[in-house]
């Protein structure tokens, strides 16, 4: 039986989950993933994902994020959105800084077309999340557990080796963990750079994510007194899982670019040119050494960590 990713007990953080999901893979995630299955079908170890800096809400981390935001030039209307959210922040958090192997072309695809990665999850049946384009650099999202919202990229700069994304999200959550619907906004600063590694890998990327959450009305007290630990813990977990998925995708593409190319042909939620970009990224990752196995094996391998053959029991009071 397939695990239902992220139950209701992880969705109390509401829209923040997908803002984190979007930012990290061009996604974020509070409750997007279920815990990984310890499935007997796993053939080998996961790609290595290192936490090089623990998550923090310290004054130093926040000031570093504010200094980086100050260097981003935005039109007046967008600058005001960011300023309003940052000045009235209910919760600031720097998520654990993650370092992992991912071919630059695949990371570029994820950062430019997060809906493409979410569509892969749909095909693999490991997430209920939906992320639909709503205009240039804009998306509408729903997680299937009471969270809906919108997000857009206000700024992106850099290249395949290093860069910055600034994301603004607005949304809400309605469900059993909130006495009234929660609404609010979030600003996420994502910085990435490819770094040298002890193994000499030229594909080692370091990902740093800062988030400012501004809850409306009742949400302020609920978040600060009740949901803060849940949001912090689950957001950090999901950032790790998203990076791990990208590591799996990159490793699979390097070994079997044709398999990933065939998988891209099954993605019906993205434009044809974006499917072609994913296929091209897979070929770049595979170079001349890639194998040519068939796609069903690829899908099984990519999904196996998040699938289980055992029925799962949800905690009391949760929804599936």
- Going by their DSSP bridges, the two strands 204-215 and 138-142 should be labelled as unpaired
Query: Has residue 4 been placed in a domain?
Result: no
Query: Has residue 127 been placed in a domain?
Result: yes
pLDDT number for residue 145: 74
pLDDT number for residue 280: 96
Query: Has residue 289 been placed in a domain?
Result: yes
Query: Has residue 203 been placed in a domain?
Result: yes
Structurally, how many domains does the chain consist of?
A: 1
In this prediction the pTM is 0.82
Q: Which residue has the higher pLDDT, 231 or 222?
A: 231
Structure confidence at residue 301 as a pLDDT band (50, 70, 90)? confident
What is d(CA 80, CA 229) in angstroms, rounded to the nearest whole number?
29
Query: Has residue 6 been placed in a domain?
Result: no
Range name among 67-76, 129-138, 220-229, 265-274 with the lowest pLDDT average = 220-229
pLDDT number for residue 295: 52
Tokens of 181: 């619907």
Q: Per mean pLDDT, which of 145-149, 240-244, 287-291 is the most reliable? A: 240-244
Q: Which domain holds residue 300?
A: 16-35+47-306
152 pLDDT above the threshold of 90: yes
Decide: 198 and 172 in contact? Cβ < 8 Å: no
Q: How many CB atoms lie within 10 A of CB 73?
A: 9
Q: Could you tell me the CATH number of the domain that includes residue 30? A: 3.30.530.20
pLDDT number for residue 199: 66
Query: Has residue 285 been placed in a domain?
Result: yes
Give CA separation, 295 vs 201, 252, 263, in Å: 26, 11, 6
Query: Has residue 236 been placed in a domain?
Result: yes
pLDDT number for residue 318: 35
- Residues in the chain, overall count: 320
Structure confidence at residue 265 as a pLDDT band (50, 70, 90)? very high
Range name among 39-43, 52-56, 246-250 with the lowest pLDDT average = 39-43
Q: How many CB atoms lie within 10 A of CB 44?
A: 7
């Amino acid at each position: 039986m397939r695990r239902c990713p992220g139950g209701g007990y992880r969705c109390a953080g509401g829209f923040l989950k997908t803002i984190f999901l979007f930012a990290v893979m061009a996604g974020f995630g509070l409750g997007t993933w279920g815990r990984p299955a310890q499935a007997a079908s796993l053939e080998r170890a996961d790609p290595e994902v290192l936490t090089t800096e623990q998550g923090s809400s310290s004054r130093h981390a926040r000031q570093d994020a504010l200094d980086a935001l100050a260097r981003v030039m935005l039109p007046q209307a967008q600058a005001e959105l960011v300023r309003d959210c940052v000045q009235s922040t209910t919760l600031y958090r720097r998520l654990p800084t993650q370092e992992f192997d991912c071919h630059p072309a695949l990371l570029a695809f994820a950062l430019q077309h997060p809906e493409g990665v979410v569509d892969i999850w749909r095909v693999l049946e490991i997430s209920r999340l939906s992320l639909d384009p709503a205009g240039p650099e804009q998306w509408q999202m729903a997680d299937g557990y009471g969270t809906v919202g919108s997000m857009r990229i206000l700024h992106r700069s850099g290249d395949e080796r290093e860069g910055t994304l600034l994301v603004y999200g607005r949304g809400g959550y309605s469900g059993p963990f909130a006495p009234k619907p929660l609404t609010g906004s979030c600003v996420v600063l994502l910085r990435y750079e490819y770094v040298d590694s002890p193994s000499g890998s030229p594909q080692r990327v370091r990902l740093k994510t800062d988030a400012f959450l501004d809850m409306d009305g009742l949400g302020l007290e609920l978040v600060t007194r009740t949901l803060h630990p849940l949001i912090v813990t689950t957001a950090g977990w999901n950032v790790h899982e998203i990076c791990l998925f990208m590591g799996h995708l990159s490793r699979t593409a390097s070994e079997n670019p044709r398999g990933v190319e065939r998988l891209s042909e099954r993605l019906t939620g993205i434009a044809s040119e974006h499917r072609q970009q994913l296929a091209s990224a897979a070929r770049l990752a595979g170079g001349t050494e890639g194998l040519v196995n068939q796609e069903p094996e690829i899908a099984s391998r990519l999904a196996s960590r998040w699938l289980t053959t055992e029925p799962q029991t949800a905690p009391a009071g949760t929804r599936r």
